[in-house]
Structure 1
Amino acid sequence: MGYIELAIAIVAEVIGTNFMKASVGFTKLIPAVATIISYIICFYTLSLSLKTLNLSVAYATWGGVGIILTTIVGVMYWKQEVNIPQLIGIGLIVIGVVVTNMFSEGH
């Protein structure tokens, strides 16, 4: 169940981050409220996942997958460009998440 809760936390974080961008510095009410609601869901489900998942595994996965999904949404929806150094950095994060998951005890 921990990984399901973690997946919900990741999706909620990505949604919240995109609403944050759409809120234009919290000057637009509906996206600002959606940001807050999304982050409440995110942190609540992340906290639930920590009942069964190792903290380092959960946090590394949450952060790493969140960065990947946020980048994809940024490119596809917000039409942002990603350069080679950014892709290398994201690749290093992915490697870190994989290593953390592979060699962590109790996950």
Structure 2
Amino acid sequence: MKEGNGIGWLFLSMAILLEVLGTMSMKWSESFTRLLPSILMFIFYGASFTSLNYTLGYMSVSTVYATWSGVGIVLISLIGYFIFQEKLSIASVCWIAVIVIGVVGLNASTKGH
């Protein structure tokens, strides 16, 4: 892996943002019945995976993938609630908290290595 973990976090942040935009576009595409959101979905996901690939040059795959997927889950759950007016049960909120704890714990445990 290359030196410069700050660059890795920048690529990872971009990958997370692009993945969330891809998921939002997927929702807006209405099962591929709307052309522009359908095209944007592929563009955002492609850019997200490209950024994720660059991230792996700076950080370990376990940290990268857990952070990317975990933060993405949390963000899209919040977006689903606030933007798409989807329900979040108390149980869902609790399980989302477990995901956050897991991502934080994994990142904290890898800093010591």
TM-score (norm. length: structure 2) = 0.90
Total equivalences in the alignment? 107
Alignment of 1:31-46 (within 5 A): 31-46=37-52
Q: Secondary structure at the match of 2:87?
A: coil
RMSD: 1.3
Q: How far apart in 1 are the matches of 2:24 and 2:85? A: 13
Query: Residue deviations 1:58-83, cap 9 Å, x none?
Result: 11110111011101111111011101
- Runs ≥4 in structure 1, deviation > 2 angstroms? none
2:103 maps to amino acid: V
Shift of 1:27: 1.5
Structure-2 residue corresponding to 1:83? 89
1:39 maps to amino acid: Y
Q: How far apart in 2 are the matches of 1:93 and 1:6? A: 17
Percent of aligned pairs with the same amino acid: 39
Check if 1:23 corresponds to 2:46: no
Q: How far apart in 2 are the matches of 1:71 and 1:103? A: 26
TM-score (norm. length: structure 1) = 0.95
Shift of 1:84: 0.7
**Are 1:54 and 1:106, in contact at CA under 8 Å, matched by a contact in 2?**
no
Equivalent residue in structure 1 for 2:79, among 73, 76, 90: 73
Query: Residue deviations 1:40-74, cap 9 Å, x none?
Result: 11000000000011111011110111011101111
Q: How far apart in 2 are the matches of 1:88 and 1:105? A: 26
Shift of 1:105: 5.6
